[in-house]
Every structure is written in structure tokens, then in C-alpha cells.
Structure 1
């Protein structure tokens, strides 16, 4: 058995699975401290289907803790960014394009040091350890507690980042260090940004992961704990402590993966309607289509793995004013603020209940709503959703639509110009199901200088490395397969430079 838990801005959902069979499902309100909501969710599963905690093979959690902290500019560690690039790259210092409030929130300090590589691994300049020690001394006096190290083309050759980390660790043994080649992809500023964000979240990650582990252990469960990553795969708690940035898009990713399992459709558009937002994404062979461009998170451009998701400010807790829905939401206070629960705020859930689409709370409390207002609100939601699905399509081929999430009661049975909307059984907890069935992945994203006649050998080497990374992350070796492969020649660089990206996934190897 497995337990999957997804912590959203409004609800915390949990499921108990035996294989892909749902034994119990529960939806509880997300609590301000989040962990007590997880405890309540596990207790709800026990009431729904009594189980022996020792029989649980693994617990998978998707959480919004880390992206919320960044968006709110709260609980971030004092962070320094060290870029190994001189004499190149000095015109645009670290964090040059960040919102000022986030720079201030992390006490952002930037240092430029000699080093870095060309795309083919040649040195731009030798690493200057004296410069690093001088920078470390300044960091120590400034109270820096986390450091992000980025070198030019470190995904090709990471030697300078590793050496710089050793130097700084000797000078500042108590600081957390994040290396860009382990976080982002090719693209200096975006990779640097992602690494700085990761570094700023490291302290918070340690506390949150420990809190999640205590929540699970408090229920008597001794099984391994995993967190969901942006690409629909899993990471263990040690990995989560080091790379909290990898959880940012786990919510919509889990929902899309769960939608594929519940509907039996592995290539489709998924509309996940939660309490605060609706996330629209596309599944390709059971995995979310990844964004091909830089992704902005809280106003910061990054280039780590993120699904291609379009978010609308429409959810079950969205405020309704004169027929307009959202983007403001009552969030996790839905059960106390919505009219159907005795509150004083008109929400999208109230509109759905008034229209007879759902039986939630007390329908008598919304019978007074004007029928015209109810109709306009629901039509607005349908039109905006259909437009978003259309924008996510990349071809004229029919694209099935699967609706999941507790807020999917807001959608009609058919979207104009798109077609019927499928709502599979247990759609309300698809996100938790997606977490529970998640697999383990490994990825390679690198620029190779391919010599004549060596193309096949280089591709095979990249694929094998991706497979090896998946196995090292905990995948069962016999189940690992390559699910995504991209090969893009780079015409402006010499030496037949080619960017190769390979993703391999496999089933989690557990004792149950």
C-alpha cells in the first residue's frame, strides 16, 4: 500500500492506494501550519479504511510550502551568489533582474570571480581561490547562511563549481552551498537565478522536511517518505533538503499524472480546478509536457524543469462580484467564508451549488441568488477555461479534456469549441493519486561536441547516464525506460555542438 498526500492552498488531499486501486480518499482543509493538516488527513484515511501502518510501503507528499515562501518573500535565508565568469559576464551582476523586495528578503549579495568554461569544456580563466577566500570573508561578516555558486557552462564541466564549493566550505563550514549544475540547465542567468532561489530556501527546507517526517511518523508509519518533483517524479527527503526548488510545480503535475491514471487517457488536456486557481496542462504519454521557454516564478526567470501550465485565477474559493469570478479567493477559509457554509462571502462554490451542480454545505443558504448572476458567472468560467485549453493546443488534432480537482464542479459537461469534459471517478483527489503513483526519474541536459561518426555513441552515452541517474535515485533497474529525448544542433558554435536532453523514469523500488 501507498499513501499519497497533496497540500494545496485550500485543501489537503490524501489517498490510500493498493496498486492503483483507491482504498480510501479524504479531503481536509489546509491548516496554516500545514503539518497538522497532514496528520488530520492520515487520520481520515484510517477512518475510511482501517490499515496497519506497518503495511504502508511509501508515503508521497506534494507540497506548496516552498513556492509559497518565495511568493510571500518570507522565511528566506540570507543568501550570497558567487558567479565564476570573469573576465566575462561582469556587465550583468547576479540578481540584476530580480524584484527588489525579493533581493531585500534574502539580503542578496553578489560576487564575481575568475573562472568558468567554454561550451566545449575549455577554461575561460583559471579559478582564483584567493578571490573566493576574500568573498567568503565578506560573506561571513555579513551573516550569509546560504551560498549559490554558478559557473559559465558548468552543465558541461562542473569542476570549477566543485572546487569553489570546497574553498568556501573551508572558510564558512556552517553555510549551505547550492551548485548550479545540479539545479538548472544551459543558460547562465536563468540557471543562476534558480540556484539562488534554491539556496535561499535551504534552511526552510530542512525544517519543513523534518516536520513532514514527524507528521508521518506520528501516525505510526515507518515507511520511506518522498516528495513530488516538478516533472512528476519523486525525490527522497535528503534530496528535498538540498533541492527544495524542485517541488515548485508538484501540485499541477500530480493532478495531471493522477488524471491520466483515473481516466485511462495518457495524451490529453487536463484542467485541475482547485480552491484558488485552475491549472491547465497537457499530458503526453502520461507525463506533463514541459515548458520549452524560461519560466518566471515570483517574477524571477528560471530554467529548471517545470511543466507547461497555464493558470487561471478561478477556483472553488474564488470571489464572485457582479458575475465576474476571481482572481481573489478565500483559499483555505472556504468552509467558513462561503455562503453555503454559513459565511458572508459569495464564492464560485456558492454559484455551483445554486445551479444544482453540487451538493455542498446547505443549498438553502444560496436559494436567494439571482439566476442571471449565477448563469453569467458559470458562463464566464466555461469561456475562460475553453480559451485556456485552446491556447495550450499545439495542433489541430482533437485533444480530450479531463477535469479533476474538487473545483471541477464549476465546469460544464462540454466546453464550446473543445468537446466533452471527462470527470473520472475520484477526480476530486487526483492530485493525491498522482503523488502516490509517481515514479523515479533521471535526466541529462548537456551540450556535446560530437565528432564525425560519433553521434550514435554520444546519444547512447547520454541515455545510459539518464538511466543510471534514475536507478541511483531509487528506481527499480528493470523498470527504467527513456521517456523523452531531444537533440538540437547549435549552429553558432563550432565542433558540431549539439544540446542533448534525455529523461528516463522507472518504478520506485520499495519493500512493499
Structure 2
């Protein structure tokens, strides 16, 4: 009896789906337009691959979803939870209020119930002041029935989580477990404001993640599939549904990450630069030992600075549907706007009225698509200049992502990658793997499950060896919670940064562990 897995990736333009067998061989693949309600697009794509593959539905054991739901909700300020923001850190942190520096419309949406509570810790784990539990009970009663999600951030909680946990217990006691609680010590790293923002954003998209998960599970059930469901997260690994609904912010940017993982798998390369060309943008990222290189900078999401882990990516406004405008004098602009998923009706080669990058490539004979006679009248000389500039945009992005001038292999994936040539400056080789159009869905289907921990340890008290061991075992237990098989766990990343400005020989340790999906009890019984 075979075991199959479904991988789905929802992009702004297309929803891609693949069905893989137990050897990760692609049995069926499809691209279907992303729909307004997203769920329909997922259902259409899934229905098609299952019909095409014609495998027994009870043998589809795993289903993985990579989605932009949460990112879009934050960017569009839509469908966000009613949240309360609780910062434990008075009187030390009163000078800078929560949500400062966040765009006004986002602050208005999320800053209706903001509270500053006495408590918090010093950088070495000592209490600044005792936690004001009476005030927390008062807040809990005040927000009853008004909010459905709470973001709790305490000063230096990556060193000591006790105040966040106590506050969480009080809110659960008064409000019941229907209200979601996000703790900053589980989401961001050191740096109060960015960690607080990440926690607030996490709290604001819990419902969006629930809706996406319910929609996905419902789509599977309507096809008669009882599978273990996982979500893609932005470090190139998976998390269980319960974990995803608790930490939905980790799904942000998982699309490009899935493409990187898929590119690594399809090309059999562990270190390379990946260019993922979609309908609207091209994302350029770097593979290091088959995983995406992480960004070391604070990352803005929807205008809010955050500091949780994110892949290091450059996005450029160049995709298959990017609009090209040519003026009378031969000057031209490329994008940044795109016809997106409407390319099949808007592009000239498909009988539409808008000149896109796809039309340029068809007119120059670089791509066979649609009706080439519809673009035969265009001025080839200008189009050649446009095409050269398109290639240059990608080469510049590749150059920015390189850490040395030496040429590196470049893997092209995504539906729009047919637009690019076989030779790029700075690339030692340009690789277009088979199934590259759905690399993102493949990336989500083959991913491992990971857990990550980042904490400050005072080495005078604990010693480096013990600190590292403690961090490793915590990362592993996080991975197991997220759905990893304990026997296959390996530590894939360790970072140990001495904090020179803190006494007591403090160091910040970050550890990531990853493993294969845990086999479900169902399968063990089978």
C-alpha cells in the first residue's frame, strides 16, 4: 500500500498543487487561479490533481498547505482579530508606547485596548518589580466579550518567561480558553518593540489562520480524504495545524521559502541562489545546506518592524504578468504593477489589450505561448531593450544576494521563469529543473518539521556546555510539539552570540532542530 502526500501553495496569482508518492516522485501537478475566497482555488487545484492521479483516497496520508492568507490580512488590514495588547514593563518602559512607529491605520485597527502593567525582568533575569496581578485580573474583566485574542509582551521575557506565563494563566482563568493568547517569548527575539510588534501581529491573524485551516480540512473532507494536515512556515519547514493556529505569524513569507526548498530538492543542490518568478514578483533567495538563509535584519510586515525569524529575500516587481509601457519616443517602464492572475485574458498573445513581459518574450521568439501573430507588429528593437532590462533586473538582484564575487549556480523556478534566458551574469550555471513551475507546492510537500529556540543564558551561572545542551533539548521538544518524529531529529543550526554589554558573561543562543514528519498512529495501526 502506497502513502501519498498533497502539497499546496497559495500565491497571489496561482494556487499550485502536487501529489507525491512515498519516494517524493511527482504523480500529478496543476496550477489553478487563486480565487477571491482562496478556499475555492485550493479546492479546484486539489480536486484536479486527485482526479488526474487516480490514487485511492485513503492512501493520501499527508496534506501540506503553504499560504499567504496571514500576510495578506496584515497588508490589507482585513479580517484581523479584536485584540488586547498587554505590556508588562511599567514603570521602566512608559516612555515608548506600544505600536509606536506602526502605520496609523494598523495602529487604529489593533490599538483599541492597550495596557501597561507593572513587572518585567532585567537582562540577567532579576525582577525589575513584582508582577501586578491585581491589575491583570481587572484588565481581564474589562476586556471580557470585547476581544478574542491577547498579545502579552514582558520586558526581557527571552531571559525569563515567568511574568508572561503568569499573565497568560490569569487571562485564561477569567476569559476561558476561547480567547487566544500570544506570548512574545515564544515568537520574537531580544528587542522589546520589534518583539512586541511581532506578537501583536501574531495575535491579530489567529482567526485568519483558523479559517484557512478549516477551509483546507473541509476541502480535503469533501474529497473524502482524512489526512494529517500541516502548514508551511517561513524557515522552510512544517508545523501542525494546532501549532499554526497558535503561531500564525510563522506562515508569513512561507511561499518563497517553499520555492527555495522545492528548488533544492528538484535540482539536488544544497547551496545555490534561487530565482522564483511568479505572476507579479520575482523572489530571489539563497540556499545554505538546503535551507533558506535567514535575514539578520529587522523585517517590516505591513509597515510594522518585527524581529522574528524570516528568510533573507529580495522581491522585485517582475513576473509573467508585469505590465510594460512603451512611450512614443521609445522610452519604456517595466512594472511594478501586474495583471496577475488575469494574464490569460489581459495579455496581448491571449487576445487581451495589455502589453506584458510574457508578450515581450513571445514576440522575440524566446517563449512559445498564445498567438504570436498578435505581437508580430511590435518594434523588435525596443522589445530587445525591454528584454535586456528584464534580465538585468534579475541579475542585479542575484548580485545583491551574493556574499562573494565568485559565480554560483542559479536555479530558476516558478511559472514565470520561462521568461529568463539560459545564461545569467554571475551564475556559474543556470538550472531549470523538471516540475520547476510548481516548485513551491513540492517544497511544501517534502518539508521537514522544525523547532527553534532563542534565549539568553548567563554563563557565569550555567556554563556554555550546559547552556547549549539546554537550548538543543528545548529546540528538539519544540520540533516534536510541531509534529516531528523524535527519532529523526537533527540540529540544523546553532548560533551563539556573546552579549558584550551585559554582565555575567551573557550569551544569546539560537538553536534549530528539524526532523521528518511523525508517522501518525493511524499508519502504525495500518
Query: Would you call these one fold, judging by a TM-score over 0.5?
Result: yes
Once the two structures are superposed, the pairs formed by residues 26-37 of structure 1 within 5 Å of their partners are 26-37=30-41
How far, CA to CA, are the matches of 1:475 and 1:175 in structure 2?
Answer: 27
Q: 1:223 matched to which residue of 2?
A: 227
Report the equivalent of 1:69.
73
Task: Name the CA distance, whole Å, in 1 between partners of 2:410 and 2:6.
Answer: 27
Task: Specify which of 142, 145, 148 is matched with residue 145 of structure 1.
Answer: 148
1:346 aligns with 2:349: no
Match of 1:422 in 2: 431
2:16 counterpart of 1:13:
yes
Deviation, 1:367, is: 2.2
The separation in 2 between residues aligned to 1:244 and 1:453, in whole angstroms, is: 33
Deviation track 1:121-178 (CA, whole Å, cap 9, x = no partner) reads 211111101222333344348x333210000111221111111122223333353221
Q: Distance in 2 between matches of 1:453 and 1:43?
A: 55
TM-score, normalised relative to structure 1: 0.96
The 1:145–1:461 alpha-carbon spacing in structure 2 relative to 1, beyond 3 Å, is closer
Out of 125-134 and 398-407, give the one that drifted further.
Answer: 125-134
- Equivalent residue for 2:380? 371
- Choose from 110, 117, 120 the match for 2:114: 110
1:31 Cα offset (Å): 1.0
Q: What residue is the counterpart of 1:159 in the other structure?
A: 162
2:454 alignment partner in structure 1: 445
Residue 271, structure 1, aligned to residue 280, structure 2: no
**1:245 matches 2:249:** yes
- The one of 161, 170, 173 equivalent to 2:173 is 170
Deviation at 1:452, TM superposition (A): 7.8
The 2-side partners of 1:96 and 1:138 are apart by 24
Alpha-carbon separation, structure 2, partners of 1:31 and 1:58: 24
3-state SS, counterpart of residue 59 of structure 1: strand
Q: 1:49 to 1:456 in 2, by over 3 A?
A: same
Q: 1:357 to 1:220 in 2, by over 3 A?
A: farther
Residues 420-465 of structure 1 deviation map (CA, whole Å, 9 limit, x = unaligned): 3211111111000000001000111111001389222221222222
What's the CA shift for 1:246? 0.8
Query: Pairwise mapping of residues 281-292 of structure 1 onto structure 2 (< 5 A)?
Result: 281-292=285-296
Query: Quick one: distance in 1 between partners of 2:84 and 2:461?
Result: 43
Deviations 1:15-59 (A, max 9, x none): 111222111111111111111111111122134321111111201
Assess if the C-alpha contact under 8 Å between 1:390 and 1:418 holds in 2: no
Alignment CA distance shift 1:46-1:208 (3 Å): closer
CA contact (8 A) 2:181 2:203 kept: yes
Match of 1:329 among 316, 335, 338: 338
**Residues 349-407 of structure 1: per-residue CA shift (max 9 Å, x gap):** 22222222323233232222221232122211111111111111112343211110001
Shift of 1:254: 0.2
Whole-Å separation in 1 of the counterparts to 2:366 and 2:191: 47
Q: For 1:509 and 1:139, how far apart are their aligned partners in 2?
A: 39
Q: Which moved more, 1:467-476 or 1:397-406?
A: 467-476
CA distance in 2, matches of 1:354, 1:27: 24
Residue pair 2:65, 2:444 contacting (<8 A) in 1 also: yes
**2:223 equivalent to 1:214:** no
Partner Cα separation in structure 2 for residue 248 and residue 79 of structure 1: 19
CA–CA separation in structure 1 for the residues paired with 2:170 and 2:480: 31
Aligned partner of 1:491 in structure 2 is 500
Alignment partner of 1:400: what SS? Answer: strand
Tell me the distance in 2 between the aligned counterparts of 1:469 and 1:453.
Answer: 22
Runs of 4+ in 1 over 4 A off after TM superposition: none
Q: Is the 8 A contact 1:490 1:497 kept in 2?
A: yes
Q: Residue deviations 1:203-262, cap 9 Å, x none?
A: 222222111110121111111111100101111111122221110011000000000011
Asked if structure 2 preserves the Cα contact closer than 8 Å seen for 1:291 and 1:306, the reply is yes
Q: Per-residue deviation at 1:419?
A: 4.1
- Alignment partner for residue 502 of structure 1, among 492, 511, 514? 511
| 2:48 is the alignment partner of 1:50 | no
Indicate if the aligned counterparts of 1:57 and 1:510 stay in contact, CA closer than 8 A: no
Q: Is the 8 A contact 1:140 1:172 kept in 2?
A: yes
Q: Distance in 2 between matches of 1:110 and 1:370?
A: 59
1:133 aligns with 2:142: no
Change (3 A) 1:364 1:43: farther
- Distance in 2, Cα, partners of 1:119 & 1:243: 25
Range moving further from structure 2, 458-467 or 51-60 = 458-467
Instruction: Provide the C-alpha distance between the structure 1 equivalents of 2:166 and 2:458, rounded to a whole number of angstroms.
Output: 24
Out of 444, 447, 459, the position equivalent to 1:435 is: 444
Whole-Å Cα distance in 2 between the matches of residues 453 and 140 of structure 1? Answer: 42
Q: Could you say which residue in structure 2 is the equivalent of 1:392?
A: 401
Alpha-carbon offset, residue 105 of structure 1: 2.5
C-alpha RMSD of the superposition: 1.6
Which blocks of at least 5 consecutive residues in structure 2 are unaligned?
A: 327-331
CA distance in 1, matches of 2:229, 2:438: 19
Deviations 1:286-313 (A, max 9, x none): 0000011111111110111110001001
Provide the secondary structure at the position in 1 that maps to 2:147: coil
